[in-house]
Amino acid sequence: QVQLVESGGGSVQAGGSLRLSCAASGYTYSSYCMGWFRQAPGKEREGVAAIYTGGGSTYYADSVKGRFTISQDNAKNTLYLQMNSLKPEDTAMYYCAAGEGCARALGVIYLYGKDYWGKGTLVTISS
């Protein structure tokens, strides 16, 4: 059974930092693309960052480039999202997801193929 469990969310002031973690289990971790997506109240879910766990491409949304860094620890089957210089507009529920593939087109990050999702961790940034 595939499980993705996020942690690390919380409330910080603008300009602060948070690091999200996603512990993955139940599938061959190194064979997937994993990513972070977020959904703010009243808005559609958007891709924030993605990475091929077997090595290779990473993708970032324009809104987080230079501030967020996606990384992984294959030995721990864990995905991370380091978020710096946080802004109030980064407030959202952040979801970890894994898919057979991922890409970035027209500014949108998306997964394709069979995919799996965590339950999310809430990030709240105050001004």
* pLDDT per residue as tens digits for the range 71-105: 999 889 999 999 999 999 999 999 999 998 999 99
CB 45 within 8 A of CB 96: no
Long-range Cβ contact pairs of 23-28 (< 8 A, separation 24 or more): 23/76, 23/77, 23/78, 24/77, 24/78, 24/79, 24/96, 24/98, 25/77, 26/1, 26/2, 27/2, 27/98, 27/116
* pLDDT per residue as tens digits for the range 10-27: 999 999 999 999 999 887
